Structure 1
Amino acid sequence: MTPRPADARLSTSIDAQRPLDRRAFDLLCLGVAAVLALHLPRLPPRLGLVLAAVLAVRWAQRRWRGGRVSLLLKLPLVAALPLAILAAYGSPFGRAPGAALAVGMLVLKLLESERARDAASAVAFGSFVAMSALLFGQSLPMTVLVALALLPLLAALQALQPAAAVPPFARAFARPALLLALSLPLALVAFLFVPRLSSPLWGAPGAEQARTGISPRMAPGDFVDLLTDDRPALRVAFDGAPPPPGQRYFRGLVMWHFDGRAWAATSTAPSSQPEALHPQAPLYSYEVTLEPTGRHWLFALDTPLAAPADALMSAARELARSRPIDAVLHYRVTSAPRRAL
């Protein structure tokens, strides 16, 4: 058998130093946009908008102006990303902050993607970030969305291969779609026969494990697991002396409705204006460190006078945030245990 020449072997692999052409970069940006869209519902709104803007500006800059992105622009963006994660979540640890950081790193990877090697690294990392969306939900629609997000990434990887002719843009997805279709039988076998672990391998708590047991509807039997759980739900640090034990009642949900078996929270919107309150001394100012609950509600010493930053107060003086609390949260409140309406 006559061996193939060296250049024929190299033609089937990616030339790492080859400049990235327009088609490959467009597909790469499309793949990153698809991954960003997967995580967008769980990202802080401002962070999601900034990342989308960075992606769009980078695509337009390379398409019409060309040239590398200045290091003076890349360094501040790279430094600002972890600070934005800390500001939004209060901690870099947890599924939500980790996923947001990974999405941000993927978008910023486009700023230095000028050669085939950079694009191949971005495709590999983008595939990982796309799969991380399954940490938040493993339903069939979510699985389909993740598979669809992989299509432009696989198309970008295919575009990095040396080819004699560039196919039309629509046909660039034909082979990636075929590869995904061929993987369906294996995925079905794994779904049916591979057992699921009760706890994740990476050690981060699951959605149910992170909750304290508080829900908008409670019955006496629902407290059994909560009573045997000795994990801290929150920590409170008072600026001065704490209130006496009889006044250490913390308000979370106010459950006005009882149907004979269970209590349910009121449907009052958090933005409703609470009644005027005339606090009586002493007032207590303190900082609360709330563990992840997976819910929106905050807890404060009864009765809170105002909502902390990034939170709203309902007419029943319940405190709530717009996003679920998926990481440790620090906030300050001032309360008046003695008050008059």
Structure 2
Amino acid sequence: MKKCLMLSVLLLLGWGVSNAAAEEATCESCHEENNPGLYLQWKNSAHGENDVGCLDCHEADAGDVDAYEHNGAIIATLVTPYDCSNCHEQQAQETMDSYHSHAGEILESSDAYLAHAAGGHPIVIVGCESCHGAKVKIDDTAANKLSPETWPNSGIGRLNPDGSKGACNACHSRHSFSKYQARQPENCGKCHLGPDHPQKEIFEESKHGIAYYGYKDRLNLEKDEWVVGKDYFEAPTCSTCHMSATANQAITHDVGDRISWTLRPPISKYKENAGVKRKAMEDVCLNCHQQGFVDGHYFQYDALVKLYNDKFAKPATDIIKMVKTKGLLENKAAF
């Protein structure tokens, strides 16, 4: 009896494996024919090389709000950090804990007022939401259950139907999901540019940026282990300083772990645990610079931020506060 039971279990397991393999083969052959670029991106990616298939990421439960039947399989078009966490648990959690994953929350604040008032929602979709992310809405009449007003969207702070925040493919573009691509500053520069956050322009004109463009081909950007001072040394990228490993600390997907100031508020301020965060950043700097150089840089940086606060930010904040108190604003949402 036990032998029969065991045989039945094995047969069922074998059927399940073969059925899943057949479903996966169907996905691959169909996309190879109809979306050859997408198929080849996946096929040549680390996912493809390690047999991580379409259903490993897109398979859904029938009860999921964005689930639908597609050629015999129950899938979801949208892949969220929760889905990625099945294999990349630490990276997904660090991302969801970071400022990146909260970028979509700004769209409901007064900061987004001008885009809505002056441009209208179509401008917001292709502008603000393409970087900050959107709240992805369900549309039961759409073939993939996703409202075309909010999808496609790969914004870094996307608000997903499963309750997760963020979009891994904002940096690791589908369907290659490449480290090589994600580590390049041009990737970050898609969003970190312009008058209100000109990090791309600052980097490109800095000694760091000049060195990067001069020695990009020597940086071993495709390596699995990518430790500054060991695997590369000619130049940094944004990832080097804000995320990547050193001999003393591990890689992080929380991009705020090494930032000591927050410059976004009207009056810049030190972040919580600023000393710890600065030490973490200095650990990166010291791979290429001596301690005196690093100390001098931060002395100049702190002085500049404090000068701006005292000369512009604090007086301007006092003026706006006075104007609001006296009821002189025609539209309070403008500030």
TM-score (norm 2): 0.27
- Looking at secondary structure, tell me which structure has more strand per residue: 1
- Who wins on radius of gyration, i.e. which is larger? 1
TM-score (norm 1): 0.27
